[in-house]
Amino acid sequence: MTTIVWVSTKFIGFHRWKDAPVDVGFLTQWHRHLFHVKVGVQVSHNNRQVEFFQLKKKVDAYLSASYADQQFEASCEMIAEDLLQKFGAEFVEVSEDGENGALVSVQPKRD
């Protein structure tokens, strides 16, 4: 059995995709999203090894310093990978406006 605790949060950010294909050329311009974020961390026991409120506070502080209310050229996938590494998470989900996004997870270990 594997237990993963998770927290969710949101932040406003402005990003762009400089090399977007012509049919979605509007993405080359700075545009605003309400990014939805979910971070899941594996625990080894069921007695709040990772406390939700503490994890959420750390995630929010990192997002505030790194992305919130800022312009950046990171995709949902890039933000998710950044958070995965920063928090040693099992998975991170990042979406634009809760509509479209990416889920990045740790690859299963192979012997």
Work out how many domains the chain is built from and give that number.
Answer: 1
Specify if 24 maps to a domain.
yes
pLDDT, tens only, 33-63: 999 999 999 999 999 899 999 999 999 999 9
Residue 71: CA atoms inside 13 Å, Cβ hemisphere, count?
7
User: 88 lies in which domain range?
Assistant: 3-98
Q: Average the pLDDT over 90-111 and give the result.
A: 89
| Residue 103 located in a structural domain | no
Q: What is the pLDDT of residue 1?
A: 87
pLDDT, residue 110, reads: 54
- Whether 104 is covered by a domain: the verdict is no
Q: Alpha-carbon distance 64 to 40, whole Å?
A: 19
Give the whole-number percent of the chain exceeding pLDDT 90: 92
CATH label of the domain that carries residue 72? 3.30.479.10
Find the helix or strand (DSSP H, E) in which 79 lies.
helix 76-87
* Average pLDDT score over the chain: 95
> Does residue 20 contact residue 27 with C-beta atoms inside 8 Å?
yes
- pTM for this predicted structure: 0.92
